[in-house]
Each structure stands twice: as C-alpha cells, then as structure tokens.
Amino acid sequence: GALGGLGLGLWRRRQQAAMAASEEDEAEKKEEEELRQRFMAPPVSGLRELRRRRRELRSRMELLIMETQGEVCRALAALDPGASFAVDTWERKEGGGGISCVLQDGEVFEKAGVNVSVVSGLLSEEAARQMRSRGKSLKAKDGKLPFCAMGVSSVIHPKNPHVPTMHFNYRYFEIEEADGTKQWWFGGGTDLTPTYLNEEDAVHFHKTLKEACDKHDLKLYPKYKKWCDDYFYIKHRGERRGIGGIFFDDMDSPSKEEVFQFVKSCAKAVVPCYIPIVKRHCHDSFTPEEKLWQQLRRGRYVEFNLVYDRGTKFGLLTPGSRIESILMSLPLTARWEYMHTPPESSKEAEILEVLRNPKDWVH
C-alpha cells in the first residue's frame, strides 16, 4: 500500500509537471503572439532567440527598439489613414539586418521612415578611426574589432509647413577588444525642426523630453539639451538644424541597467512629444510662399545630414550597410535658391533668429 501511495504521488507530480510545462508553452505562445502584434515584422534575431536570452541587455534593447518602431508607425498611420507603411526587411551578409518602414506621399506625411537595424561583424578601419577621434581607446586583435550595433531611427517630413519635421534615434553599441573585454555605450536623442516657430509646440516638445530625463537625474535634460543645440549645428550656415531637443552619445555610466532605463524613458516619450503637435496643425491652411520656405528649410536639413551627421557617416563607412535605409532621412522634396534672404521682421526671419541663438524653452 505504501509503495502504491509512493507510485501515485510520483504520478501526480509528473502530471502536475506536465500541466505546468503545457501552461508554460501556452503562456510562451501567447506572449509571442502579443509581441508579433506589437512589431512591424519579425525581429532580426528571431523571437525565440530573444525570448531565450531575454535577461541579456542586448535582447532587451532589441525588444525595445522593435516596440518603439511599432508604436511610432501605428501612431503615424492613425493620422494618415489613406497611406500605409511599406515594410522592408533586409539582411546584411556580414551579419545581422534590419527592418525599414517607410510611408511616402500620404495626405499628412510627405515621407516618414522608421528604421530598426541590428548589425554585427568587424568594425571598418575608417569607423574605428572615427571612434578613436572621440576618445575611445580600442585595442584591436590582428587589426580586427568585432562589434554589435543596434538602434531605431526615424525622420518624419510632413506635407504641411506648419507641422514640424521630427527626428529621433536610440542605439546601443558593443565592441570586443583584443583581451576579450567589452566596451559598450548608448547614444541617441529626439529633436524638432519646425519651418515656422510656434512657441506652444516648442514648450510642449521640450517639456515632454525634460520629464523623461528628470525621472532619472535632474542634470540630464540641461546637459543633453545643450549637447543637442551644439550637435545639430550647420557650421557653414551659422545656424542650428532646428529648435533642438536632447542628444547624447557614448553614455556608459552609472551602470548598464540605469542607462538602459533612461534610454527606455526617452524612447517612450517620442509619441507624446510629437503626435499632439501633428494633430494640432495637420489641417492648418498654408500659402504657396509658406510651402516654398519649407522647401528651403528642407535643403538645410539635407546639408546637415550629408555633411555633418555622424550616424549617416558611420552607415556610409560600414561595409554591407544598406544605403536606402541610411538615406531614408532625406526629404522627398527640397529646394536650394541662390542668396535667398527673408524680409526683416517676417515669420521666416523669426525662426532664423532662434536657429542662430537657441532658446531655453522650459525655464
């Protein structure tokens, strides 16, 4: 009888274990389905692999950039129901790949792109030189530096000149040195480029980003706001690309987890800082002259991206990178006029004044 009882107990435990495993399988399938619905396409590393390594920061970052891409694309598509995102997945033979989501010629957005890339391989000599010039001491093994880089980046060019262009980018970088030690850092930011100045929009945008920063450290917003103003500077024009936001790079302290949580807060602030501005102005009336000024400002946007932007340069210098995705940030249309100068005291002159002398919007 006692032995029978033992057998029954073992059988019950096995039954319970089998039921628990089955429930776990169900929970896994449900979670995978939920993730699938939140993403625009299957992730580069594969859902199974990401779930298996979900405690690792690389996996958590990939999930974050995938979710951010989905959130932003859904928010933009809801404002431009006649248009849809072309979802383009691509592979890089040197390692990794990405997902480019691009909406073109909509009613509200002339061009909106949201890219995810997860790439790995060996750093090109030119890219390593660029990093060393920023103070990185990278010790290569036989001239080779294995790296892993991932990020989400987006540029949104609306049709209406009263709706600003917006850009954001959040990324993670890891390099393995000759002795096996890994260097890692995060970078990114969100910034606004209006054609015409609207103080209320500027305050809303900066305030939302400041709140995201303040959750982590009150020193971050002023520091990264200034960095943004300094970074998006078109030297040959003596003006900023837009009215700024936040920008940071090479962020590797206080700890991996704390920096990741900060980046997550910034990524989650993208939709609330921008979408209300689009809703407010996408049906504003505008004149042919205002459209012309938008085209001229777009020309400045192109100049900054092709001459100064570090991300564009890194992409162009990385073997096997996808040029279409790198140049997605360029507008569908832009214009360059010889010696164009707006009249004094005009709305056009007003925005130029702010681009030459950045303002503090939230104090």
Q: Which residues are catalytic?
A: 167
User: Which tokens belong to 56?
Assistant: 């690792």
Q: Are 190 and 166 in contact (CB under 8 A)?
A: yes
User: Which tokens belong to 199?
Assistant: 């103080």
89-112 burial, b at 16+ Cβ within 10 Å, e below that, comes to: eeebeeebbbbbbbbeebebbbbb
Number of Cβ within a 10 Å radius of residue 210:
22
The radius of gyration computed from the CA coordinates of the chain, to the nearest angstrom, equals 24
Cα–Cα distance list, 73 to 11, 69, 70, 81, 332 (Å): 51, 6, 5, 12, 18
Q: Are 278 and 204 in contact (CB under 8 A)?
A: no
Residue 48's SS3 state is helix
- Residue positions counted in the chain: 363
Residues 6+ apart with CB under 8 A from 359: 202, 243
Distance CA 101, CA 98 (A): 10
Cα–Cα distance list, 313 to 25, 107, 185, 188, 323 (Å): 45, 32, 18, 15, 11
3-state secondary structure 242-287: CCEEEEEEEECCCCHHHHHHHHHHHHHCHHHHHHHHHHHHCCCCCC
Query: Starting at the edge strand that comes first in sequence, how are the strands of the sheet with 96-104 ordered?
Result: 86-91, 96-104, 109-122, 146-158, 165-176, 182-193, 244-251
